[in-house]
Structure 1
Amino acid sequence: MHNLTTLLAFVVTLGILVSIHEYGHYWVARRCGIKVLVFSIGFGKPLLKWQRGDTQWQLAAIPLGGYVKMLDEREAPVPAGERQLAFNTQHPLKKMAVVLAGPLANLLLALVLLIGINVYGFDTIKPVVGQVAAGSLAAESGLRVGDEVVQVGGRRIDTWDGFFLQMLKQAYSESTPLTVRRPGQGEITLDLPLARLPARPLSPALMRVIGVAPAPTETRLTKVEEGSPAAKAGLRADDLLLRVNGEDASDGSALVRLAARGDGQPLQITVRRGAQQFTLPVTPVMMDKEGQRAPRIGVALSTGIDDARLRALRIQQRYGWLEAPYVATLQLWDEARITLSVFGHMLIGRESVKQVSGPLTIAQVAGESAEMGFQPFIQFLVVISLSLGIMNLLPVPVLDGGHLMYHTAELLTGRPVSATVEAIGQRIGLVFLLALMSLALFNDFHRFLFG
């Protein structure tokens, strides 16, 4: 059943994105007075075809793309009476409009879907820090569990997704100011020196490298050693750890860090036992463990996700009809900038080319998002449609961006690009696409075989 869902979701995804893209070309071509001979979804032998006006509409055997074939003297002889309908005889601005229409149709689809999501409402979580890794950049910068991030680099945010998106935009900054709302202290500003990171991946891994995660944790004492400082203070197995010296200790790191100081000062450890809450003073002493002598209190800890607190952080974000288009435009602009930034950093070697995904990964994610529900699938369509629109605008021959480059040259010089130059460009473009597809397929198989 899972494989069937994946296959269907993949076919629906390609069908929607390719149809919208090609219809953009078709619609503008017809408005520019250009005769369209074939509108095809898929490549290869037609499985289904029908005639409507001058155009043959068809579904072909290989559903990995599509094309719009226009009347063109460069491809076949054109009757003198129809020469004004041929693509190659049009003004360069009309050619540019036809070429641009496909990618713009994908960007418009992404925007419309995003507006719909914003109006309908989507599930997300508040930008509250649930975990701070010990020794991480976030910990060294003073970020604490329970801090609510309200501003990143001067941009206000209200969801964890917004926090992540802004961190991606700031990833290659020397440092980024974070404004957080801390219980009992109000809003304070911290400095996150991103230049100190060993790596700055423009992916979800960035938050892990920084050392923060949204899911709140809870830590219980699984064992209290007999005769240890913890046992003498009254701590018991299964006590829920809340705070140490007033600092949130839900992930256990505060207890480990403060106990290791070994300054002889008692730790004020707050725990919950059943319905009761206690604060007990516990002084670490030097103890042997696994051949090492260090300050300890004699407990073993177990940390897991606190489902109750995570549920409390979940919210539904919704915007009105007037506000939704503005918000969606900003979101799409941010995501487009990040997509281009990732591509640019891959070209100069800052980002790993392992991020390039092919049809197998797209199919897998399509299936997973479809199984999660209608809204996640629509959000997936937004990402893929945006990526498709941007990729087709790249100035690579055989892509729309390459043709746009040719027609721009024609507009500036007053004459079409020569057939020789176009042929050379086609070869370069095909080599680039084949290399890109080979890399994408290699990454796909590597993920499936090795994870």
Structure 2
Amino acid sequence: MLEQPPIWLIVVAFVCAIGPLVFFHELGHYLVGRLFGVGAETFSIGFGREVAGWTDRQGTRWKVGWLPLGGYVRFVGDASAASEPAAEMPTDPRSFAGKPVWQRFLVVLAGPMANFLLAIVIFVFFFAAFGVPRTPNVVRAVVSQSAAASIGIQPGDRIEAIAGQATGTFEDIQRIVALRPGEVVTVRFTRDGQEREASTKLGVYEEVDRFGQKYRMGQLGFYATQRGLVTLPPAQLLPEAVNTTWNLTRVTVEGLWQILTGRRSVKELGGPLKMAQVAGQQASLGLFQFVSLLALFSINLGFINLLPVPMLDGGHLLFYSIEAVRRRPVSAQAQEWAFRGGLALLLALMLFTTVNDLGSFGLWEGLGRLIG
């Protein structure tokens, strides 16, 4: 088992991870806003007192705040960094609030989409440089007394789908099964050209990574052929990267849904401290592992910002969708209360995940031993 990286590496790695992700996110907002003629007053990476900055020829103040936990673009006509509309009617033609609702929608949507695009670009470069992991979905051997053995899967069978999701490769099987420890799933497979289907309860095993962190995983119980990397033609790199990003987004959605429905423990929900620890761990393993983590973080950031929570991009998109249907914006009072509720929810979530993170570091267990 590897030792945990030093605190300084964790801090540096976290800043080096969050900074670029926030920059690309806000750059998406900024570029699409500029496309529609929206003026930007501030482009900030981080919050709080300005550490460094400059003002460009368009009058935008580009700055870095001392607290590197986010960022924002403040457009002309915004009442705050959260892009709450100003109370008065906009008179400046560059005002964000004065633009048609469809343009405001696209400006806000551009932030999360920039994060997904960044992940796609990373995967394109990885696949071009190293190839694509692609193992056939054919069974080489079956583990005795496993879920696969219980439904009669045999060597040579081809696993076509699990839990209603197609499994064209062994990597697809791993992705789907890992998220469903102890769940009953339907497995569709072919043998000698004949399609068969059966239901089984997946096994559960605890995977321990190189830093001693434990993860509860599902297990079907068979071995595939030797894994390898496939070199793709240049024209197939982008579609493969898009597909990989989509699959990882589905994993994020499914994992969150399992937590919300009680199928997974809320203790698995991590916050900034856990992200910092993981960033430091991956940075200690090398550049490849760290950049791979950046792609995953970028996907998570894009997805989380699409959630329909006021203060997040998804909350703004929800308001704009309502405005498009009603042909008039949601009242200022309703938006104000929604933003307050969204802020309270985000603060409560950050507090909860921080308590979770500290627990995963063993703090509460250590305090319990001291008190006991």
TM-score when scaled to structure 2?
Answer: 0.80
* Other structure's SS at 1:175 match: strand
**Alignment-derived partner of residue 175 in structure 2:** 165
Deviation per CA, 1:57-99: give whole Å up to 9, x if none. 001100000011111164679998x611111111111111111
- From 127, 133, 146, give the equivalent of 1:136: 146
User: Which amino acid in structure 2 is aligned with residue 162 of structure 1?
Assistant: D
Q: Is the 8 A contact 1:110 1:386 kept in 2?
A: yes
Following superposition, the deviation at residue 33 of structure 1 comes to: 0.9
Cα distance change, pair 329–73 in 1 and its aligned pair in 2 (3 A): closer
**Alignment-derived partner of residue 67 in structure 2:** 62
**Alignment-derived partner of residue 216 in structure 2:** 205
Distance between the aligned counterparts of 1:405 and 1:360, measured in 2?
30
Q: Is the 8 A contact 2:151 2:198 kept in 1?
A: yes
Q: Is the 8 A contact 1:72 1:87 kept in 2?
A: yes
* Other structure's SS at 1:85 match: coil
1:259-274 aligned at under 5 Å gives the runs: none
1:91-240 aligned at under 5 Å gives the runs: 91-122=100-131, 126=135, 134-143=144-153, 151-153=160-162, 155-159=166-170, 161-167=171-177, 174-179=185-190, 191=197, 193-194=199-200, 196-197=201-202, 205-208=216-219, 210-211=220-221
Distance between the aligned counterparts of 2:299 and 2:141, measured in 1?
32
Distance between the aligned counterparts of 2:223 and 2:237, measured in 1?
28
Q: Is the 8 A contact 1:122 1:375 kept in 2?
A: no
Cα distance change, pair 326–198 in 1 and its aligned pair in 2 (3 A): closer
Following superposition, the deviation at residue 369 of structure 1 comes to: 2.0
Following superposition, the deviation at residue 444 of structure 1 comes to: 1.1
Count of residue pairs the alignment pairs up? 343
Give yes or no for the alignment of 1:434 onto 2:347. yes
**Alignment-derived partner of residue 88 in structure 1:** 97
Distance between the aligned counterparts of 1:444 and 1:132, measured in 2?
38
* Other structure's SS at 1:34 match: coil
User: Which amino acid in structure 2 is aligned with residue 139 of structure 1?
Assistant: A
User: Which amino acid in structure 1 is aligned with residue 27 of structure 2?
Assistant: Y
Following superposition, the deviation at residue 16 of structure 1 comes to: 1.0
Q: Is the 8 A contact 1:152 1:167 kept in 2?
A: no
- From 263, 268, 289, give the equivalent of 1:355: 268
* Other structure's SS at 1:205 match: strand
* Other structure's SS at 2:68 match: strand
Give yes or no for the alignment of 1:33 onto 2:37. yes
* Other structure's SS at 2:267 match: helix
* Other structure's SS at 1:351 match: coil
Q: Is the 8 A contact 2:179 2:218 kept in 1?
A: no
1:406-445 aligned at under 5 Å gives the runs: 406-445=319-358
**Alignment-derived partner of residue 317 in structure 2:** 404
User: Which amino acid in structure 1 is aligned with residue 15 of structure 2?
Assistant: V
Cα distance change, pair 345–3 in 1 and its aligned pair in 2 (3 A): same
Following superposition, the deviation at residue 150 of structure 1 comes to: 5.6
Could you list the runs of 5+ residues in structure 1 that have no partner in the other structure? 181-185, 215-311
Give yes or no for the alignment of 1:24 onto 2:28. yes
Following superposition, the deviation at residue 337 of structure 1 comes to: 2.2
Comparing 56-65 with 381-390, which one deviates more in the overlay? 381-390
Give yes or no for the alignment of 1:47 onto 2:51. yes
Cα distance change, pair 148–176 in 1 and its aligned pair in 2 (3 A): closer
Following superposition, the deviation at residue 169 of structure 1 comes to: 7.9
Distance between the aligned counterparts of 1:187 and 1:364, measured in 2?
48
Cα distance change, pair 78–29 in 1 and its aligned pair in 2 (3 A): farther
User: Which amino acid in structure 1 is aligned with residue 253 of structure 2?
Assistant: L
Give yes or no for the alignment of 1:368 onto 2:281. yes
Q: Is the 8 A contact 1:45 1:60 kept in 2?
A: yes
Q: Is the 8 A contact 2:184 2:202 kept in 1?
A: no
1:250-261 aligned at under 5 Å gives the runs: none
Q: Is the 8 A contact 1:177 1:191 kept in 2?
A: yes
Larger Rg: 1
User: Which amino acid in structure 2 is aligned with residue 26 of structure 1?
Assistant: Y
- The structure with more strand, counted as a fraction of residues: 1
Cα distance change, pair 110–192 in 1 and its aligned pair in 2 (3 A): farther
TM-score when scaled to structure 1?
Answer: 0.67
* Other structure's SS at 1:89 match: coil
Distance between the aligned counterparts of 1:117 and 1:67, measured in 2?
29
**Alignment-derived partner of residue 209 in structure 2:** none
Between the two proteins, what is the percent identity of the paired residues?
32
**Alignment-derived partner of residue 211 in structure 2:** none
Following superposition, the deviation at residue 38 of structure 1 comes to: 0.5
Distance between the aligned counterparts of 1:8 and 1:190, measured in 2?
52
User: Which amino acid in structure 1 is aligned with residue 274 of structure 2?
Assistant: T
Deviation per CA, 1:102-160: give whole Å up to 9, x if none. 0010011111111221211258584687996653323323457x77866444845444x
Distance between the aligned counterparts of 2:348 and 2:78, measured in 1?
31
* Other structure's SS at 1:391 match: helix
User: Which amino acid in structure 1 is aligned with residue 346 of structure 2?
Assistant: L
* Other structure's SS at 2:324 match: helix
Cα distance change, pair 444–406 in 1 and its aligned pair in 2 (3 A): same
